Amino acid sequence: MTDPVIDLSPVRNQFPALQETDQQGRPYIFFDGPGGTQVPHTVIEAMADYLVKANANKGGYFITSYRNDQIITDARAAMADFINAPSPQEIVFGANMTTLTYSLSRAIARLLKPGDEIIVTQLDHDANVSPWLALAEQDITVKMVDFDVEDCRLDLQHLASLLTDQTKLVAVGYASNAVGTINPIPRIAAMAHNVGAWLWVDAVHYAPHGPINVQRLGCDFLVCSAYKFFGPHVGVLWGKSALLEQLPAYQVRPANPKVPYRFETGTLNQEGLAGVTAAIDYLAEVGRVYGASFDGSLAVEGRRKELKQAMQAIATYERRLFTSLIAGLESLPGITVYGITDPAEFDERCPTVAFTREGFTPAQIATYLGERGIFVWDGNYYAINVTERLGVEASGGMVRVGLAHYNTQEEVDRFLSALKEMA
């Protein structure tokens, strides 16, 4: 049975950047999504509209401040829908995931004592490693879980061996931003909770590729960034309300002491929050309009259901496209693909691939492709433990290609053709 042909033009037409071309008239190909996705026009318009109609600080007794407060409230509700959080009041906004993680790690450290332990992994972006490593200065022991270099899966047996009664927190990525591996979060949550530890999940890379349900994952905290799921540069933290209530906050004296406000230092990126809601509404629209085309399901009502349908549909479409990409890469001489490569196991990875090629540095490949309007990343993408463990950091890391739901088979074919020509 052949896969149905999907007309992506209604989706792609919503992204102004996808209409841009180079001097030869070739459309740019955005395979740089793991570093930040493109945004639909509705996000751009929502942010501009805020600056015209609601550009005020919060808490004032006048119309623009009222509108501003409603935009913040709407953004919390939208994010709660996106990750299926029990309450919008469990949503904390910040500059980015890294800043939020540093801030909350310091708050968590105030509840710890010398000899307590935190576990991180070698598979993670350093934003989910360095903030916890910094706590070693307070005599907190930080342990690191290894991964299998053959398929880049996290070594859960190693994790089990590191867990003790002194373990207070496990920090793990939902998916690797370097090699795409999706970690079994519910299983890891059970392992952490079995010794009384909290689970902190970095969902930055996973967020644009599949549905998130914090209530089913079993995690205690989850962080992500809107600019990775078609929104602006805003960081998002979810935490169980009972835990957020426990944590001491660093804040100025007149600030609101209640959760979630006490973790939001200073004025938020309020126009960005308007964009966050617009990005999530865009995805809900994908669920309504494209559900049947992507995965054969019928549209359903309610934003949470629409978002779940959209993200499931996106995952199905991206997996099909990614299968073609991997097959094409493996057919080329001199290329080494890292991570899971068996299509039967692609539900265990995001549509992100890292590779090296004999005779070329990653920077040379990225430059060659960039000159032809194909945008990819090279280096370590801040996942430095991954490139060091794989033995490629000293030679420039890897080339990273990341697919999003707005990418097409034609773009994959053009990318593969460019690599063939480079040989």
Report pLDDT for 287.
Answer: 77
Average pLDDT, the chain: 95
Q: Specify the pLDDT at position 241.
A: 97
Q: Where in the chain is the domain with CATH 3.40.640.10?
A: 44-278
Average pLDDT in the 268-277 region?
98
Looking at the domain covering 9-38+318-422, what would its CATH class be?
alpha beta
**Has residue 198 got a pLDDT over 50?**
yes
Q: How far apart are CA 318 and CA 43, in angstroms?
A: 22
Reported as a single tens digit per residue, the pLDDT across 295-344 is 544 444 689 999 999 999 999 999 999 999 999 999 999 999 999 999 99
pLDDT bin (cut points 50, 70, 90) of residue 9 is: confident
Tokens of 94: 């910040």
Answer CATH for 44-278 from 3.40.50.720, 3.90.1010.10, 3.40.640.10, 2.30.30.100: 3.40.640.10
Pairing of strands 352-357, 335-338: antiparallel
Strands (E), 129-216: 141-145, 167-173, 198-202
pLDDT of 370 reads: 97
Write the CB contacts of 161 (distance below 8 Å, at least 6 apart in sequence).
Answer: none
pLDDT reading at 32 higher than 90: yes
Hey, is 80 helix, strand or coil?
helix
Q: What is the largest CA-CA distance in the chain?
A: 67
Percent of all residues in the chain with a pLDDT value above 70, rounded to a whole number: 96
Q: How confident is the model at residue 97 (pLDDT cuts 50, 70, 90)?
A: very high
Give the C-alpha separation, 246 to 361, whole Å.
Answer: 49
**For residues 88-105, average pLDDT:** 98
Q: Residues spanned by CATH 3.90.1150.10 within the chain?
A: 9-38+318-422
